[in-house]
Amino acid sequence: MLSLKLAWRNLVGAGLRTWLNVIVLAFVLFMMIWHYGLLDGWNQQANKDMQAWEVGNGQYWHQNYDPYDFFTLEESHAKIPEALNKATTDGIITPVLITQGSVYPDGRIQSMLLKGINPDQKVVAIPGTDLNTESEEIPVVIGRRMAKNCKLQEGDITTIRWRDVNGTFDAAEVKVVKVFNCNVPSVDAGQMYIHIKKVQEMMQAPDEATMFIIGEDFEMNETVSGWEYKDFDFLMTEMNEMMKMKKVGGSFMYVILMLLAMLAIFDTQVLSIFRRQKEIGTYIAMGMTRRQVVSLFTVEGAMHAILAVIFIAIFGTPLLIWLMSVGMSMPAGSDDMGIAIAETIYPVYGAGLIIGTSLLVFIITLIVSYLPARKISKMKPTDAIKGKIQ
């Protein structure tokens, strides 16, 4: 208690020097909380969006299907298996038939994936109902990114080309009946959605699918021969890895910021111990033990962190709450990075994040404050009283 009381008096007495250190430390703390919260918010949103738009609650893949090798698509489709027939009919799972194709917007050629989906499916958020539109051309639905890349709009007609199961090329006119907005680039970029029946017909692969997306109510009771079950965690692996990398990348920034803040604290402490030798000698002459003096200087240093936390609590909390409510707009083009980024990311600042980060900063400040303070215990009080540099 004595150390706390005296440390507080000393810090208040030190005036501007104290507040500069506190502000630097508070800035670092705020940046750490803000950035981690942003990544957490992004992570949560990306998970939610990817589940809603792409991965559902898991998937069944044809045994030959490899999303990273388009050449496997020719051999990675098969009849809808008996075991999944009922669930498919009930709409608990939804089949997707995928093939490679090309689109010719304004005479240009662009590769894409043709995905056959059930227009009435409710498993993922891709809006398929428009695929039921009556039209001379084949009705297709595309995402915003695809529309942008191909310079297509709703109502536009263009040509697509594909190969059927026998390897024969064919082409047809398609009409864009819907351009949807989605935060998940892998659902949108370079992809065109067509009624699954139409794709089966185009590919001459009736009742076939490449994969199934599983909905909420599906209960997996048996393994399905020729099909591999991929659970949600597996399908999110890449996203999670990417987030980890983002956090690691962000950590370098924190380390640099922390180093700057700790350097300020360390510098203040070292300077204090040299400049305040007479004061240290006076403390000892008046009956403080060396341990008490070391403790006083350590608490003084560590109190910068406590003041920084209080500073953040007073000035940072309203700002964090405001950021949580309005979110942070991502710059145009940031979604081209290939990972799910919403137009506005809403950061998530949990108690664990705030307490954990504050504790981390406090402990590091405590250590950095203690290291130079140890020197006091080696000081000769008779020299310290006179302020002689030792």
Q: Is 5 in the site for another protein (CB under 8 A)?
A: yes
Tell me phi and psi for residue 110, to 5 degrees: -145, 130
Give the x/- contact pattern for another protein in 323-362, rule: CB under 8 A.
Answer: ----------------------------------------
Count residues binding another protein (CB under 8 A).
Answer: 26
| Whole-number CA gyration radius for the chain | 31
Instruction: Assess contact for 25 and 268: CB atoms under 8 A.
Output: no
Instruction: Assess contact for 146 and 190: CB atoms under 8 A.
Output: yes
Name 329's bridge partners: 344
Give the x/- contact pattern for another protein in 370-389, rule: CB under 8 A.
Answer: -----------xx--xxx--
Minimum CB distance to another protein smaller for 14 or for 113: 14
By CB atoms closer than 10 A (0-12, 13-18, 19+), residue 346 is: middle
Q: Print burial letters for 136-150: b (CB count within 10 Å at least 16), e (below 16).
A: ebbbbbbbbbbbebb
Taking the C-alpha atoms of 331, 334, 340 and 345 in order, what is their torsion angle to the nearest 10 degrees?
-20
Q: Is 13 in the site for another protein (CB under 8 A)?
A: yes
Instruction: Give the residue from 128, 126, 203 showing the smallest Cα distance to 172.
Output: 203
Q: Is 72 in the site for another protein (CB under 8 A)?
A: no
Name 59's bridge partners: 213, 230
Q: Is 4 in the site for another protein (CB under 8 A)?
A: no
- Considering only residues 137-156, where is the footprint of another protein by CB under 8 A? none
By CB atoms closer than 10 A (0-12, 13-18, 19+), residue 23 is: middle
Minimum CB distance to another protein smaller for 180 or for 283: 283
Query: Which residues are within 8 A (CB) of 254 and not within 5 positions of it... i.e. 6 or more apart?
Result: 28, 31, 32, 35
Residues 154, 149, 75: CA angle, nearest 5 degrees: 95
Q: How far is the CB of 17 from another protein (least distance, A)?
A: 11
Minimum CB distance to another protein smaller for 64 or for 282: 282
Q: Is 390 in the site for another protein (CB under 8 A)?
A: no
Q: How far is the CB of 51 from another protein (least distance, A)?
A: 58
Q: How far is the CB of 381 from another protein (least distance, A)?
A: 5
Q: Give the pairing type, strands 191-195 and 138-143.
A: antiparallel
Q: Is 288 in the site for another protein (CB under 8 A)?
A: yes
Q: Is 16 in the site for another protein (CB under 8 A)?
A: no
Minimum CB distance to another protein smaller for 2 or for 259: 2
Q: Which of 107, 155, 167, 287 binds another protein (CB under 8 A)?
A: 287
- Per-residue CA distances from 57 to 50, 66, 154, 211 (Å): 10, 19, 31, 13
Minimum CB distance to another protein smaller for 344 or for 382: 382
Q: Which of 132, 289, 329, 334 binds another protein (CB under 8 A)?
A: 289
Place of tokens 């006091």: 376
Q: Is 191 in the site for another protein (CB under 8 A)?
A: no
Q: How far apart, in whole angstroms, are the C-alpha atoms of residue 194 and residue 228?
A: 24
Taking the C-alpha atoms of 378, 381, 385 and 390 in order, what is their torsion angle to the nearest 10 degrees?
-30
Q: How far is the CB of 281 from another protein (least distance, A)?
A: 7
Q: How far is the CB of 271 from another protein (least distance, A)?
A: 15
Q: Is 181 in the site for another protein (CB under 8 A)?
A: no
Q: How far is the CB of 274 from another protein (least distance, A)?
A: 15
- Considering only residues 250-279, where is the footprint of another protein by CB under 8 A? 278-279
Q: Which of 143, 281, 347, 372 binds another protein (CB under 8 A)?
A: 281
Where on the chain is the footprint of another protein (CB under 8 A)? 2, 5-6, 9-10, 12-14, 278-279, 281-282, 284-292, 381-382, 385-387
